[in-house]
Structure 1
Amino acid sequence: MENSSEYVYDYDNETDPEQTGFCILSENRDKELRVQAYVHSAICAVGLLGNILVIITYAFYKKTKSMTDVYLLNVALADLLFVIALPLIIYNEQYDWIMGSWACKFLRGMYSINLYSGMLLLACISSDRYIAIVQARRSFRIRSRTLVYSRLICSGVWALAVALSVPTFMYNDRYEDGGVAEEPVAVCYFRFDRNENARLMKVLVPSMQVAVGFFLPLLVMGFCYSSIMVTLLRAKSFQRHKAVRVVIAVVLVFVACNLPYNMALLYQTAALFKERECEAEKATALALKVTESLAYLHCCLNPVLYAFIGVNFRSHFCKIMVDLWCLGKKYIYGRRRSSPFTSDVYISARKSNEGSNNENGSSFTI
């Protein structure tokens, strides 16, 4: 891979980058890309496994009986779309977006859709838990048409996420960034024909991402989960008090993963059209890279926090492991000898598992 450097230029004069002054943001770009590749590959592997298990569970073992179940399934789908796209993002970053402009637009857009849909769906989960626990006496009428409401809400969330991601699809492009390097560096970033569009979109897009993709879900989750904690603390049950720790963990992980990146993005946006020192710009660029990887980590933690913490969901996960074990034995013994025994074992295991699948509770048990 050829050595290259990253540059930043004056955003007030963006029409012709080669006519502007540059600040070298990273003198060790190759090392940073290698570290990013390792970190993002680990996130991809863990996120892929966790979200596939959630989808398999809902597809074959547990029906979506509650609003939270529908939201959880959609969160898993959103995260799965992102972790599938992540290897392509890694590859293109390593090789200067060799797949071209279509990959730049598509992959950046996929991340944007995942960001908005995932965060808004987490806010929907907290709202549903608030209605079910805090407004328990009034929730029966509200939740009597659970699947109808939840599917309509999820459809609205996905439509809003796509609409908010339209500028990302439109204005991201691959182009060669010249400057002081011996070889031009191919980047995937916003590109505009007019400075007026550049000023507007470079402020609007990150501002919407911070506002709708972080602060709005944070406000909803903060209100809902604080009300849930007050209700749970009033209860005498040990299990209810135990669930308070789960609520605290959900909020802390959400804030820890997403707050640093959004603060760095907000700082960069606020200083976008101001004259900046080169060293300060280097620090901001490094902070964005590190905190972006931390934000990616949230797609791995969602299945753990919102699915596997539930008692019912853990029991379904155990059934998946049993069936996979039986399926593996069937495959191994089937190659050694032709016998109906292992097939009977697997079928009986599936029947017993399906027969015991009669839980009515939500997988997110708090």
Structure 2
Amino acid sequence: MEFTDFTESVTFDYEDSTEDYGFCRLDLNPVDVNTQTYIHSFICALGLIGNSLVIITYTFYKRTKTMTDVYLFNVAVADMIFVVALPFIIYNEQNSWVMGSVACKILGSAYSINLYSGMLLLACISGDRYIAIVQARRSFGTRSHTLIYSRLICLAVWLFAVALTLPTLMYTERYDEPNLPGENATVMCQLFFNEAETAKLMKVLVPSLQMAVGFLVPLLVMVFCYFSIVNTLLSAQSSQRHKAVRVVLAVVVVFIICHLPYNVTLLIHTVSLFKERSCDAEKTRLKVLVVSRSVAYLHCCLNPILYAFIGVRFRSHFRQILVDLWCFSKKYIYSARSSRGTSDTCIQGRVSSEGCNNMSSFTA
């Protein structure tokens, strides 16, 4: 039985479809949609809090003194772009993309920008740590002069991410997908092509770039760098070093758990695009793709925990943010007399926190 995939404007064959009129309905049922909405809302809230704290810390409390600091700040910005876009994506998916075609293109490209920039920056962090720990003797005395290079590298990463996102930006469209006769068309925001040859090229090129640049290359860099780091740390025979090893392993394991299922599913989906497949198999494959993609989204919430909050000095800055927020709120609740007393408390809290910062610099 022959069907037309309107997402790609290419004709495919689906076998054993139980749908009438020759259409294979690939939309999710309401239960799946609601579950996906709750998961994405959780990811949005957690990612917004964590990445906001990282950005606020580096903007107002902790200057970017090292290359890793510059990379972490840019990772937080990349993740923030996506978590800010996620509520609008959820809203438009449930309301037939009422915000229009421009919003469809921009929001559709948000994940691509986050994917390419975030993953490449994580690879840069692993490379910087490799140089700092494994090549410590060679890099000693020179790393303080390389801060400008880290900013240039970040600029190059952002430009590269934008360039790789251009196909998604160009071909993502808001369009009406026909349903069964007598039903209203479903409004979609996906890659859409008018020519079959363009569809065949882009439907392979875009996922391949995501898998290669957004997963495989960063994974290989991280495995090499962190494997070398672990060997160096284990040879040091120190309790602090062994704690650092556990952190390194956590970074790699979380990266693999979050991104491997989605990329494997995406690879299977891409390989099967131009093959004859049954409607039920396609429904199952797309459902697995949606679930694994949500797991990949979760990584933007975990980056602040894995790369920032673990550090002793960063945690002290985080505590200072809470103290300052408490003091700020007290000024608007109490009278001028109470505010004077609150200010003294806040000053004492800041002095205490700064003392902790100085002490933690030796243990971070």
After TM superposition, the score normalised by the length of structure 2 is: 0.90
Q: Give the conservation status (yes or no) of the 8 Å contact 2:97–2:187.
A: yes
In 2 relative to 1, CA 239–338 (structure 1 residues): closer, same or farther, beyond 3 Å? Answer: closer
Is 1:236 matched up with 2:231?
no
Which letter does structure 1 place at the counterpart of 2:130?
Y
For 1:140 and 1:338, how far apart are their aligned partners in 2? 51
For 1:119 and 1:216, how far apart are their aligned partners in 2? 9
Q: Give the conservation status (yes or no) of the 8 Å contact 1:176–1:185.
A: yes
Shift of residue 143, structure 1, vs aligned partner: 1.6
Aligned partner of 1:280 in structure 2 is: 281
Aligned partner of 2:120 in structure 1 is: 120
Q: Give the conservation status (yes or no) of the 8 Å contact 1:11–1:272.
A: no
For 1:92 and 1:260, how far apart are their aligned partners in 2? 26
For 1:270 and 1:216, how far apart are their aligned partners in 2? 20
Shift of residue 140, structure 1, vs aligned partner: 2.3
Q: Give the conservation status (yes or no) of the 8 Å contact 2:258–2:298.
A: yes
Report the secondary structure of 1:137's partner residue: helix
Aligned partner of 1:204 in structure 2 is: 205
For 1:46 and 1:240, how far apart are their aligned partners in 2? 30
Is 1:97 matched up with 2:97?
yes
Q: Deviations over 1:203-247 (max 9, x none)?
A: 101100100000000000000000001111111111101111111
Aligned partner of 1:178 in structure 2 is: 178
Shift of residue 341, structure 1, vs aligned partner: 2.7
Aligned partner of 1:191 in structure 2 is: 192
In 2 relative to 1, CA 326–302 (structure 1 residues): closer, same or farther, beyond 3 Å? Answer: same
Q: Give the conservation status (yes or no) of the 8 Å contact 1:12–1:195.
A: no
Aligned partner of 2:18 in structure 1 is: none
Q: Which runs of 5+ in 2 are unaligned?
A: 13-20
Q: Give the conservation status (yes or no) of the 8 Å contact 2:116–2:214.
A: yes
After TM superposition, the score normalised by the length of structure 1 is: 0.90
Q: Give the conservation status (yes or no) of the 8 Å contact 1:117–1:161.
A: yes
Matched positions, count = 353
For 2:362 and 2:201, how far apart are their aligned partners in 1? 44
In 2 relative to 1, CA 262–361 (structure 1 residues): closer, same or farther, beyond 3 Å? Answer: farther
Report the secondary structure of 1:226's partner residue: helix
Q: Which residues of 2 match residues 23-172 of structure 1 at below 5 A? A: 23-26=24-27, 29-140=29-140, 142-172=142-172
In 2 relative to 1, CA 284–333 (structure 1 residues): closer, same or farther, beyond 3 Å? Answer: same
- More displaced stretch, 134-143 vs 56-65: 134-143
For 1:307 and 1:361, how far apart are their aligned partners in 2? 15
Shift of residue 9, structure 1, vs aligned partner: 3.8
Report the secondary structure of 1:192's partner residue: coil
For 1:360 and 1:194, how far apart are their aligned partners in 2? 60
Shift of residue 327, structure 1, vs aligned partner: 2.3
Q: Give the conservation status (yes or no) of the 8 Å contact 2:262–2:296.
A: yes
Aligned partner of 2:15 in structure 1 is: none
For 2:159 and 2:124, how far apart are their aligned partners in 1? 15
In 2 relative to 1, CA 48–235 (structure 1 residues): closer, same or farther, beyond 3 Å? Answer: same
Shift of residue 167, structure 1, vs aligned partner: 0.5
Q: Which runs of 5+ in 1 are unaligned?
A: 1-7
Shift of residue 344, structure 1, vs aligned partner: 3.8
Report the secondary structure of 1:173's partner residue: strand
In 2 relative to 1, CA 161–85 (structure 1 residues): closer, same or farther, beyond 3 Å? Answer: same
For 1:92 and 1:295, how far apart are their aligned partners in 2? 21
For 2:349 and 2:179, how far apart are their aligned partners in 1? 65
Is 1:345 matched up with 2:345?
yes
Q: Give the conservation status (yes or no) of the 8 Å contact 1:330–1:346.
A: no
For 2:59 and 2:117, how far apart are their aligned partners in 1? 21
Which letter does structure 2 place at the counterpart of 1:57?
T
Which letter does structure 2 place at the counterpart of 1:156?
A
Computed over aligned residues only, the root mean square deviation of the Cα atoms, in angstroms, reads 2.4
Q: Deviations over 1:66-87 (max 9, x none)?
A: 1101100000011111100000
Shift of residue 329, structure 1, vs aligned partner: 2.6
Report the secondary structure of 1:97's partner residue: coil
Shift of residue 179, structure 1, vs aligned partner: 3.5
Shift of residue 326, structure 1, vs aligned partner: 2.3
For 2:11 and 2:256, how far apart are their aligned partners in 1? 39
Q: Give the conservation status (yes or no) of the 8 Å contact 1:12–1:273.
A: no
